[in-house]
Each structure stands twice: as structure tokens, then as C-alpha cells.
Amino acid sequence: MDPLVRFRDAHSKGLIPDDIYDLTLKRFPITVAGIDRIEKASGIQYPVAYVEPSLVLSSSDPNSYEYGILFARTIPIMFEEKFQVVIQISAPLIAYGLKGTIHAILAHEFLHFLELLRKISKMELLSDEISGNLFENVYSDETRLFEPKVVFKDRTLLNHITKKFPSGFRDYKLEDKVIKFWANRNLPKSNISLDSNTVKLSAESLASIKLDPKFLTKIKQLEEKSSKIHKKRLY
């Protein structure tokens, strides 16, 4: 899969102006380097990723002024009766994010990917919890991920994650740039509800998913090490 196919298509249709197109392509190697870095630091292959040619916004209430910018999302899909996890990376992140920010967000989504497959391996995804509040969603997000220092053997990458995700991702400078250079220019936007950002798969779908035994062993090891760290914090 060409990760830029949707972005190129949007440009060819005139939805993405030339300057944004050129800037995103010029900075895309930062994303590729981030994925390579995460694979090296974790020893696990990164899932399929693609560039979303829009600014993705999420609100807890369609009538509310409260919204969040989703710079990347982990999306499970069933394609040709096969299960696959896809990482959606927004073009504004690539165009305006600092290297450390981009790599931290890619790593954060990688943790989501691991968590998703852990739940699938234990048949825990029939009714994932739904949060109707952006703050609650961030809190839930932070309390169920694998410990970054267990997954990644890269001190600089860990520092980026720690700084960017102390209690949910916020980068005000990046958000200001995106609002000024993307949203205010009326470039493509996508609005989703928090409910649509949760995972629901049928029992039949879960039963049909086959995961590599070696990968499951790795997941179990990471889970056990993360659990030990969580217990130390509690006591």
C-alpha cells in the first residue's frame, strides 16, 4: 500500500494546494524515519500506515464547542475477510509537527496497536468502553497502554513520549499552526464522534483472527513487564 495514495489523490482533485502538497512530501521522510526507529526500538513490525489528507477533529457533542484534534488514529478493519490494523496519520501533523512530536505520536499509536492485539488475543473487544468526554477519553487512554519503557529501547524516543504525553497529548504550538495554516484556509476537515473512535468486533470476527504465536509470546512478555511496573507504582 502506498501510504500517500489518498493524499496524492486529494491533491490531484484540487483539494490540497501545491504549497501544502510540496511541504508534506518534503517532510514525509520524517514519518518514515519514525516508523523505522520504532521498529528498531521495539523489535516489532509497525502496522500499515497511510496519510489522511484532512484535519481530523473529534467532539464529545455535535452541539459543543469542545473539540480535539486527532493527529493520528489506530483503526481496525476487516478487508477481504482478513483482519488488519491501520494507522491513520493526518497530513497536518506531517506538514507542521516537529520531528520529536511526529515520532512520539507514531510511538503512541504503536502502543494502541499492541493494546488492540492484546485485547483481541484475549477476546476482550466485544464491547470496549465508550467515553463521552474528551478528558475522560484521555484518562482512559493513558491507563490502559503498555509501558513505553518496556516496549521501546530508545532513550530519546522515550523522552519524546514522556514530554508529549504526560496526561494526554497537547502541543499548543502545533495546534496553533494547524489552525492558522490548515483550518483557516478551509482545507479538508473530517469530523468524528468519540464513539466512532472505539472498537467493536463481533464474536465471529474475533474467532476468525489468527495471530502469529511468536508475536503473541512477545505481547505477553511486554504485558507482564508492564504489569510489574504498574504494581510498583500502586505500592
pLDDT for 76-123, tens place per residue? Answer: 877 666 778 899 999 999 999 999 999 999 999 999 899 888 888 877
List, for residues 22-70, the tens digit of each pLDDT value.
999 999 999 999 999 999 999 999 999 999 999 998 865 555 555 688 8
H/E run at residue 69: strand 68-69
Tell me the sheet residues that pair with 55. 189
How many Cβ atoms are within 10 Å of 163's Cβ, its own excluded?
12
Range name among 64-73, 140-149, 168-177, 222-231 with the lowest pLDDT average: 140-149
Q: Which residues contact 93 (CB under 8 A, 6 or more apart)?
A: 71, 72, 101, 102, 105, 174
d(C-alpha 9, C-alpha 215), whole Å: 35
d(C-alpha 91, C-alpha 88), whole Å: 10
Residue closest to 70 by CA, chosen among 58, 82, 54: 58
Beta strand pairing status for 68-69 and 55-59? Answer: antiparallel
d(C-alpha 173, C-alpha 177), whole Å: 6
Pick the most confident of 8-22, 54-68, 198-212. Answer: 8-22
Percent of the chain with pLDDT over 70: 76
Average pLDDT, the chain: 83
Question: So what's the pLDDT on residue 102?
Answer: 95
Question: So what's the pLDDT on residue 78?
Answer: 72
What's the half-sphere exposure (Cβ side, CA atoms, 13 Å) at 102? 24
Longest dimension (CA), the chain: 57
Q: How many domains, in total, are found in the chain?
A: 1
Question: So what's the pLDDT on residue 1?
Answer: 73
Tell me the sheet residues that pair with 86. 48, 75
How many Cβ atoms are within 10 Å of 199's Cβ, its own excluded?
17
Report CA 213 to chain centroid distance, whole Å. Answer: 24
Per the structure, the complete domain to which residue 198 belongs is given by 5-234
Question: So what's the pLDDT on residue 104?
Answer: 92
Percent of the chain with pLDDT over 90: 49
Question: So what's the pLDDT on residue 114?
Answer: 92
